[in-house]
């Protein structure tokens, strides 16, 4: 289904202009857009080459010269995001309505009538699933777990016993909420498992990437706050608290009992030692190793992570170590020659 550009403008509440009113059949990135597509110019580089764009129309800032039909917006990316939602496949296509005959629902579970259950879903005893939820193939919701309204659980996602998901939570394929925390203590016969009897609570509109794992607390709660987004392959250990509206990139590991404030951003492959605290708004660059508490508002980088600009200076100087070592060796050799009463220029450059 397509929309005329004027229809999109009316739906989105933005002005449009152009020599014609094209039908927009799809959306695409700037370099890939072709006839019938809408794209956006999100930076000055793309704004400078609008004449060469192959799209039918473009979202662009007011005042930027544009030879194509255009939607005008102060934030082209935000408007393009709204357009993407209009052209996204219907949920009923991805998650067919109704209950597949192979789905298994315990008689004591409370499942809202409009919940969609895909092939081989399992809903355990005492579980509660709110209205509008859609569960893909092989999803497992274990005993006494609770899902709020309008949650989406993609194939093979798992919600372990007694864990709680708020409204509009999204779990991508293979993610696990409520796996046992990594708790053991040394005994006379080896490592003894510490029972993990706590739960996980995800706030409203949390999104969990594919194959991400969030461990249940030893006691109490592992908590992820409202609106937080976790990328693929993230590990959240037991008793961690993640604040609201945080963004955590792929392959990041957060050790047990860490506390993250609101609006924290972690780049890819960040590692965080246990029992640390990050204040509100902290930003951590990719591949950093966090070994200390970080006050609110700081940006850090490196291993161990330090203040952002200082961290990059350290990296830059590290690359110069061979050169600096050679220079230091020359200075030391020259000083040694002087102590021996020999001219400093007698030192050879080996």
**Residue 107 CB neighbour total at 10 angstroms:** 5
Burial class (CB in 10 A: 0-12, 13-18, 19+), 268: middle
Block residue for tokens 């194509």: 68
Residues 6+ away with beta carbon under 8 Å from 28: 34, 37, 38, 39, 55
Partners of 260 in beta bridges: 242, 278
Q: Decide: 246 and 259 in contact? Cβ < 8 Å.
A: no
Point out the catalytic residue in the list 172, 185, 238, 275.
238
Q: Identify whether 138 is a catalytic site residue.
A: no
Both structure tokens of 170: 């999204």
Residues 6+ away with beta carbon under 8 Å from 288: 267, 270, 271, 300, 301, 302, 303, 305, 311
Catalytic residues, which ones? 238
């Amino acid at each position: 289904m397509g929309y005329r550009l004027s229809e999109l403008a009316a739906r989105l509440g933005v002005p449009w202009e152009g020599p014609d009113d094209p039908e927009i059949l799809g959306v695409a990135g700037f370099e890939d857009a072709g006839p019938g597509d809408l794209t956006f110019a999100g930076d000055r580089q793309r704004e400078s080459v609008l004449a060469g764009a192959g799209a039918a129309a473009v979202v662009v800032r007011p005042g930027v010269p544009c030879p194509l039909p255009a939607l005008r917006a102060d934030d082209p990316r935000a408007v393009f995001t709204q357009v993407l939602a209009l052209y996204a496949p219907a949920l009923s296509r991805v998650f067919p309505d109704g209950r597949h005959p192979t789905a298994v629902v315990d008689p004591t579970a409370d499942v809202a009538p409009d919940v969609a259950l895909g092939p081989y879903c399992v809903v355990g005893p005492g579980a509660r699933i709110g209205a509008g939820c859609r569960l893909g193939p092989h999803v497992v919701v274990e005993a006494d777990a609770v899902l709020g309204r309008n949650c989406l659980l993609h194939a093979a996602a798992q919600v372990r016993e007694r864990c709680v998901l708020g409204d509009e939570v999204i779990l991508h394929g293979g993610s696990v909420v409520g796996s046992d925390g990594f708790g053991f203590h040394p005994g006379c016969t080896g490592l003894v498992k510490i029972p993990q009897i706590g739960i996980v609570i995800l706030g409203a509109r949390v999104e969990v990437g594919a194959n991400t794992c969030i461990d249940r607390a030893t006691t109490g709660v592992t908590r992820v706050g409202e609106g937080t987004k976790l990328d693929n392959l993230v590990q959240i250990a037991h008793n961690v608290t993640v604040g609201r509206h945080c963004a955590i990139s792929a392959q990041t590991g957060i050790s047990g009992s860490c506390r993250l404030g609101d609006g924290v951003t972690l780049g890819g492959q960040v590692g965080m030692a246990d029992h640390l605290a990050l204040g509100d708004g902290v930003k951590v660059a990719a591949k950093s190793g966090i070994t200390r508490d970080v006050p609110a508002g700081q940006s850090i980088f490196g291993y161990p992570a330090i203040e952002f600009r200082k961290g990059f200076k350290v990296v830059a100087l590290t690359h110069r170590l061979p050169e600096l070592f050679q220079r230091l060796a020359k200075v030391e050799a020259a000083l040694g020659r002087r102590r021996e009463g020999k001219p400093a220029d007698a030192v050879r450059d080996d």
